[in-house]
Amino acid sequence: MKNVGLFFGSFNPIHIGHLVIAEYMVEYTPLEQVWFVVSPRNPLKKKETLLNENHRIRMVRLAIEYDTRFKASSIEFDLPRPSYTINTLTHLAEKYPKMGFSLILGLDNLSTLHKWKNYEQLLKNYKLYVYPRIYPHTEPTTLEKHPSVRLTDAPIVELSSTFIRKAIAEGKTIKHMVPPHVGDYIKEMHFYKKMEQDGE
């Protein structure tokens, strides 16, 4: 059974911080692949701040096109919205019975996991690989000691999609913040030029 880490996110846009985390996971944990699961809509975020999901998954594919350790997944595009992680995992387990799925998430998300739909079921049935964050709002949580939680020493890259969108809107360069083909696509499509910035 292949061990697959599911990295959920808006990826609005994907950036080098996401890729650093994914690479750490396949090199330093039992995970053999990382699937970038592009969320059409996160229940905790405002929908209007997101690019169309087809553009966002296109950027993910451009970012990872030559790396067989990574995969872009549009699985949530055809599921009921808003999308919930537990529903997606149930669907994936049925569709790929020979895959062993785990979650990849930031420490800030772990601290709010109790707000997720059926979070107890997530902890019971899946491993969670957690990467560190230094955001001041991240608070200690007893879930860090849960047997299903694996705290990792992944590099802390405090680069956010929010920062990149804001930089583009202000006319700044993002040349070294996103993979080259992603940067080219953003420039070609004139993304984020006059968008309101909110969320990751």
Q: List, in sequence order, every residue forming a beta bridge with 38; answer none if it has no partner.
A: 9
- Whether 150 maps to a domain, the answer reads yes
**44 has a pLDDT exceeding 60:** no
pLDDT band for position 15 (cuts 50, 70, 90): very high
Q: What is the pLDDT of residues 129-158, one digit of tens each?
A: 999 987 655 566 789 999 999 999 999 988
Name, in order, each residue with C-beta under 8 angstroms of 54's C-beta and a sequence gap of 6 or more. none
Domain with residue 71: its CATH number is 3.40.50.620
Single pTM value for the model: 0.91
Name, in order, each residue with C-beta under 8 angstroms of 52's C-beta and a sequence gap of 6 or more. none
- Whether 163 maps to a domain, the answer reads no
Distance, CA of 180 to CA of 66 (rounded, Å): 13
Q: What is the pLDDT of residues 76-115, one digit of tens each?
A: 999 988 889 999 999 999 999 999 999 999 999 999 999 9
Write down the pLDDT at residue 132.
93
Write down the pLDDT at residue 139.
63
Domain that holds residue 22: 2-157
Write down the pLDDT at residue 186.
97
Q: What percent of the chain has pLDDT over 90?
A: 81
Name, in order, each residue with C-beta under 8 angstroms of 108's C-beta and a sequence gap of 6 or more. 133, 135, 137, 138
Q: Please tell me the total count of domains within the chain.
A: 1
- Whether 26 maps to a domain, the answer reads yes
Distance, CA of 176 to CA of 61 (rounded, Å): 18
φ, ψ dihedrals at 166, nearest 5°: -65, -40
Write down the pLDDT at residue 123.
97
Evaluated on CA atoms 77, 79, 83, 89, the torsion sign reads: negative
